[in-house]
Structure 1
Amino acid sequence: MLLCAARLGLAQTTDKPSLVEQLDRSPVKLFPRWQIEPSIDCNWQFEEEQPAPAIDLGKLKSSYLTERIDEARRIVLLEANPDLNGRDESLNMLLGYLLAPPEDRMTLLAYLSAAMALGDESNAQTIWSAAQSDPSALQAVERWLVDHSPSLAEARWRERLTSAQAQNSSLFVALKGLGRIGNTEDAEAIKQWLEAESSYLPTRLAAARALGNLQSTGLEPLARDILSSDLPQPELLAISLLRRHSSSAAVKICQDLLTQDVNEETDTAAHAAAYEIIVRAAPAVARTLAMTLREHPDSNVRLAVVEHLTNLGDFAALKVQGFSLRDSNGLVRRTVRANMLKHYRQSSEAKKLVTQAIGYYLQGDFAEGAEQALVMAVKLGLNGAATRIAPLLEHAEPRVHVRAAWALQELASSDDVIALLMPEAQRLTAKIASGNSHITHDEESKAAFLFGAIGRNKYRPADEMLRKFVPKNGQLMRESTRASAIWALGRIWEGTQNQELAGQLAGRALDGDPNDPEAIIVKYTAAIAVGMIGDNGTIKRLERIPESKPLPIGYAKEWALDQL
Structure 2
Amino acid sequence: MGLWCCLLVPPLVWLPGTGLACAAEDPNEVVLLHAWEVDPDLDTQWYYGTPPNYIQSVDIDKLLQGDLQQRVEEAQQIIVKANRGPVEDRRAVLDAVLDALAQKEQNRVLRMVLVSAASSLVQDTEEAQRLWDALEGDAHARRMVEPRLKDWKSQVALDRWRQVLAQPIADVRYAITVLEGIAAVGSSADADLVRRVLLSDGAVLPVQLAAATSLGQLQTSGLEELAGAIADSDIPRGKLLAVRLLARHTGSAAAARLNHIIDVGETAEQSLAYQVLASVDASAALQRAEAMLEHPDSTARRTAIDLLDAQQDVRSLNLQAALLADRNVHIRRQVRENLRRKAAHPELRQAVEDIVRFHLQGDRFEGIEQAVVLVSQLQLHSLAPRLLELVDHPREEVHVRAAWALQTLQLQPEVLEAISQRAERITARLERDATMSFTEEITAAFLFEALGRHRYRPADRYLRKYIPKADQKMRVITRTSAIYALGKIWEGSRDKGLADKLAARMLDDNPLDPEEITVQYASAIALGRIRHPSSIAQLERVPDDPPIARGVAAVWSIEQIRQASDGE
Q: Which TM-score band applies after superposition, normalised by the shorter structure?
A: 0.7 to 0.9
Q: Work out the CA distance in 2 between the residues paired with 1:103 and 1:496.
A: 76
- Which 10-residue stretch deviates more, 39-48 or 305-314? 39-48
Aligned pairs for 1:203-222 (under 5 A) are 203-222=207-226
Q: Work out the CA distance in 1 between the residues paired with 2:456 and 2:66.
A: 74
Q: Work out the CA distance in 2 between the residues paired with 1:500 and 1:106.
A: 69
Q: Work out the CA distance in 1 between the residues paired with 2:27 and 2:110.
A: 46
Aligned residue in 2 for 1:95: 98
Q: CA separation of 1:464/1:227 partners in 2, compared to 1, >3 Å: closer, same or farther? A: same
- Post-superposition offset of 1:89: 1.8
RMSD of aligned C-alpha atoms? 2.8
Which letter maps to 1:299?
S
Q: Does 1:368 align with 2:389?
A: no
Aligned residue in 1 for 2:80: 77
- Post-superposition offset of 1:122: 0.7
Q: Does 1:31 align with 2:30?
A: no
- Post-superposition offset of 1:522: 1.5
Q: CA separation of 1:76/1:51 partners in 2, compared to 1, >3 Å: closer, same or farther? A: closer
Q: What per-residue deviation string (whole Å, max 9, x for no partner) do you get for residues 305-350 of structure 1?
A: 2222233455543332211221233332233222222222322x30
Q: Does 1:161 align with 2:165?
A: yes
Q: Work out the CA distance in 2 between the residues paired with 1:477 and 1:429.
A: 8
Aligned residue in 2 for 1:557: 554
Q: CA separation of 1:394/1:112 partners in 2, compared to 1, >3 Å: closer, same or farther? A: same
- Post-superposition offset of 1:405: 0.4
- Post-superposition offset of 1:190: 1.8
Partner SS state of residue 445, structure 1: helix
Aligned residue in 1 for 2:428: 430
Q: Work out the CA distance in 1 between the residues paired with 2:208 and 2:52.
A: 48
Q: Work out the CA distance in 2 between the residues paired with 1:165 and 1:369.
A: 51
Q: Work out the CA distance in 1 between the residues paired with 2:152 and 2:52.
A: 34
Q: Match for 1:504 among 501, 504, 520? A: 501
- Post-superposition offset of 1:284: 1.3
Which letter maps to 1:466?
L
- Post-superposition offset of 1:364: 4.2
**2:309–2:316 CA contact under 8 A, matched in 1:** yes
- Post-superposition offset of 1:475: 0.5
Q: Does 1:113 align with 2:124?
A: no
Q: Work out the CA distance in 2 between the residues paired with 1:171 and 1:399.
A: 47
Which letter maps to 1:189?
L
- Which 10-residue stretch deviates more, 286-295 or 553-562? 553-562
Higher relative contact order (CA 8 A, sep 6+): 1
Stretches of structure 2 that go unaligned for 5 or more consecutive residues are 1-25
Aligned residue in 2 for 1:125: 129
* Length-normalised TM-score, structure 2: 0.86
**1:393–1:424 CA contact under 8 A, matched in 2:** no
Q: Does 1:143 align with 2:147?
A: yes
Aligned residue in 2 for 1:330: 329
- Post-superposition offset of 1:178: 2.0
Q: Match for 2:354 among 342, 356, 364? A: 356
- Post-superposition offset of 1:163: 1.3
Aligned pairs for 1:245-284 (under 5 A) are 245-260=249-264, 267-268=267-268, 270-284=269-283
Which letter maps to 1:125?
Q
Q: What per-residue deviation string (whole Å, max 9, x for no partner) do you get for residues 3-54 of structure 1?
A: xxxxxxxxxxxxxxxxxxxxx9432111222222233343334899997432
**1:469–1:482 CA contact under 8 A, matched in 2:** yes
Q: CA separation of 1:219/1:461 partners in 2, compared to 1, >3 Å: closer, same or farther? A: same
Aligned residue in 2 for 1:21: none
Which letter maps to 2:280?
A
Aligned residue in 2 for 1:341: 340
- Post-superposition offset of 1:287: 1.3
Q: CA separation of 1:170/1:31 partners in 2, compared to 1, >3 Å: closer, same or farther? A: closer
Q: Work out the CA distance in 2 between the residues paired with 1:360 and 1:405.
A: 19
Partner SS state of residue 288, structure 2: helix
Stretches of structure 1 that go unaligned for 5 or more consecutive residues are 1-23
Aligned pairs for 1:483-494 (under 5 A) are 483-494=480-491
Q: Work out the CA distance in 1 between the residues paired with 2:532 and 2:210.
A: 74
- Post-superposition offset of 1:375: 1.6
Partner SS state of residue 468, structure 2: coil
- Which 10-residue stretch deviates more, 100-109 or 321-330? 100-109
* Length-normalised TM-score, structure 1: 0.86
Q: Work out the CA distance in 2 between the residues paired with 1:485 and 1:137.
A: 62
Q: What per-residue deviation string (whole Å, max 9, x for no partner) do you get for residues 378-418 of structure 1?
A: 12222111112111111111111111001111114232111
Task: Determine what percentage of the aligned residue pairs are the same residue.
Answer: 37
- Post-superposition offset of 1:65: 4.8
Which letter maps to 2:273?
A
Q: Work out the CA distance in 2 between the residues paired with 1:447 and 1:386.
A: 16
Aligned residue in 1 for 2:306: 307
